[in-house]
Structure 1
Amino acid sequence: MTFTPQTPAAEITASFPEAVQGKTILITGVSPGSLGLATAEAFASQLPTNLIISGRFTKKVQAAITHLESTYPATTYHSLIMDLSSQKIRVMSIPTRTLTEDGLETTFATNHIGHLLFTNRILSKLIKAASTTTTTTKASHSGLAPPTRIINLSSFGHKFSPVRFTDLSFPNLPNELPESERPDLRMTEYLTGNSHADEAYYGLFSYGQSKTANILHAISLNQKLLAKYNIAAFAVHPGAVDTGIGRHVTPSDVEAALQRVKDLGMDPTQKSREVVDVDSGDGQVKGVYLADCKVDDGGVVAFATDRGIAERLWSTA
């Protein structure tokens, strides 16, 4: 069976009911009109036992739960209110450099640090879930990922920037960084019409850094959890989705960038059911970055799959 970029999420989920039925699933960044809510709806359609709906604002989380309960009443819903930008939903391309109350650049703090700390806080529950899942042994030998999984939402945007270890909060110009930490100015200029080389902060660079960190985080999680506890981690590029994440980007900029992406021959490919094992060896890691319902090792930049960089990021956090 294959899926196209236009295949509804619920249809894809319906092809893997055993991965959802009876499970407990936690989703961050859920509010009306969000990608988180669309994800929750797709899961709810396949009768998980519990859906934990997390977001920053009680009113928005409750509105999402009310919507889900009206359509899929068989699942039990739980609200979890937390602000992940203060160690909320993922953010993209904030026009000016902003810092959290902890002194961290806001995009990196929200998209990576907050989720990393939250994941670490619930690891004991994930380990217990993995140890009590009756299908664990069967799944580990079936070519499918283990049933206990951690999914980070990454993006094609990771290509814009590696992690700037010496400049996490963007006080320096790109050419003042070590070469291995510099953003891709040529791609930035091609996609946006401006390289932004003369700006210490640019929204797509901060977003790109955070999405690279999401992939590297998944690599470190696999290194520490896969063999020992049979817990797998992945970083998923969901494709171009019209949600509030891009509220700081003008529609004309989005249209121009998408057209340039198409000009580069990077239209979405067909989605397939193929799932492969995560390569947890040394060097460049394979099998962690997913796009269009398949492993996309060819679509991820090397700095986002380097074992050494992943460990450096883990130590930095």
Structure 2
Amino acid sequence: MIPQHLFRNSLTTHAEFDSKTDAIDVAKAFPRKVQGKTILVTGVNKTGLGFSALHAFASQSPAHLILASRSSDKIKECIDALKAEFPNVKYHALNLDLSTQKSVRAAASELLSWDEIDALDIVVNCAAVFGFGETQRTVTDDGLELHFATNHIGHWLFTNLIMPKIIKAATRNPKGATRVINVSSGSPFTAGIRWSDINFEKMTKDLPEDEQPSEFLHKMFGMTINEETVYTYLEAYNQSKVANVLFTVAANARLYEKYGIVALSLHPGIIRTELGRNATKEQREIINDMKNDYKTLSQGSSTTLVAALDPKVVDGLTAQEPVVFLADCKMIALPPKSSSKENAERLWSLSEELTQEKFSW
């Protein structure tokens, strides 16, 4: 449960939207923000938040919907379902494996080559991995821990590579209408970045105190940690989701005043999706015992739609106070550890180093 004093209700158009609001109702509230637009969503599958968001967008007649996933079969399944209900929208499949920079560059290059898609009005970075049950870390071909590589670096690199088409859309749209949405989680309320050990190679006892894993959070998931713990999937996931927010803050510093492009991040809530498909029986029982207030897929996507469409959410965006996070369809405050401009710039520099890529537009 999120404390009510953290919500900033004045920064959204519809104060009545909350945790029970359906995504399609948000889309219906802002039809002109969708009609004729080109929207890209990563991480699409029929039982996930990406598809639910796409379904809501499709209901309001966008010109193009781009579905990005590492699974061609899942993309096809989603397109077939959307076409059956909304046949007048043009759908496009984009193969994108965010865990490998080679695939990210190939996907971005392909998208940039599409003459039919000359601009991107809204990009929703929804894909994520959560390594339930993993006791050993997985390192990608690029030498990065899998959660950080996929959930942050993949999206950071992909979004920056396709920025020319996002900027093109911004030249046509009112200031603040062109948007990049980074779907995070509840992690930024309590977690941070493991700056001294991004790849999880050190024991807990060798980390600075403010980078050590939370024993309380791990107990919630039935996990035991001690001073010799090196890696936990929960800590790796939390770090990658904080990175989503810091990417958002740094992107606004580069894009909002110059181009009118807005980046926002959000916590969709607790939803049963494929993200937990690798959980053990014991882990599922622990999660069920938490008595979480689970959302439906549509309710889980509603905050994404508010972030993508509501014109009022940019009212609090200033150089001094970049308000960039939402939960339960409302703007919300975050601790400095997961949202400060200083940490955002630190992460941007690290991301450039890890991808050997610098971007300036």
Q: TM-score range by the shorter chain?
A: 0.7 to 0.9
Aligned-pair CA distance for 1:278: 4.2
* Corresponding residue for residue 101 of structure 1: 141
Which of 1 and 2 has higher RCO (CA within 8 Å, sep 6+)? 2
Distance 1:194 1:62 in 2: 38
* Corresponding residue for residue 225 of structure 2: 196
Pairing 1:57-206 to 2, within 5 Å after superposition: 57-87=71-101, 89-94=127-132, 95-96=134-135, 97-133=137-173, 136=174, 140=175, 146-189=176-219, 191-194=220-223, 196-197=225-226, 198-206=228-236
Distance 1:89 1:314 in 2: 20
1:252 counterpart (285, 303, 323): 285
Aligned-pair CA distance for 1:258: 4.6
1:237 aligns with 2:277: no
Aligned amino acid, residue 68 of structure 1: L
Cα gap change, 1:252 to 1:158, in 2 (>3 Å): farther
Distance 1:183 1:21 in 2: 45
Aligned-pair CA distance for 1:158: 3.0
Aligned amino acid, residue 107 of structure 1: H
Aligned-pair CA distance for 1:257: 3.8
The alignment yields a C-alpha RMSD, in angstroms, of 2.3
Q: Residue 275 of structure 1 aligns to a residue in which SS?
A: helix
Q: Residue 196 of structure 2 aligns to a residue in which SS?
A: coil
Gaps of at least 5 residues in structure 2 are 1-13, 102-125, 295-299, 352-361
Distance 1:209 1:33 in 2: 25
* Corresponding residue for residue 316 of structure 1: 350
Distance 1:230 1:34 in 2: 30
Aligned amino acid, residue 253 of structure 1: I
2:337 counterpart (303, 312, 317): 303
Distance 1:224 1:212 in 2: 19
Aligned-residue identity in percent = 39
What are the superposed Cα offsets for residues 190-234 of structure 1, whole Å, 9 maximum, x if unpaired? x23545234211111011000000000000000000000000000
1:6 counterpart (4, 7, 20): 20
Q: Is the 8 A contact 1:160 1:188 kept in 2?
A: no
Cα gap change, 1:230 to 1:286, in 2 (>3 Å): closer
TM-score (norm 2): 0.76
Distance 1:83 1:14 in 2: 32
TM-score (norm 1): 0.86
Aligned-pair CA distance for 1:74: 1.4
Q: Residue 84 of structure 1 aligns to a residue in which SS?
A: coil
Distance 1:205 1:80 in 2: 30
Q: Is the 8 A contact 1:160 1:204 kept in 2?
A: no
Cα gap change, 1:278 to 1:121, in 2 (>3 Å): farther
Pairing 1:283-302 to 2, within 5 Å after superposition: 285-297=321-333, 300-302=334-336
Cα gap change, 1:248 to 1:4, in 2 (>3 Å): same
* Corresponding residue for residue 143 of structure 1: none
Q: Which moved more, 1:213-222 or 1:81-90?
A: 81-90
Aligned amino acid, residue 344 of structure 2: A
Pairing 1:262-301 to 2, within 5 Å after superposition: 275-282=313-320, 285-297=321-333, 300-301=334-335
Distance 2:68 2:338 in 1: 27
Distance 1:173 1:225 in 2: 38
Gaps of at least 5 residues in structure 1 are 141-145, 263-267
Aligned-pair CA distance for 1:179: 2.8
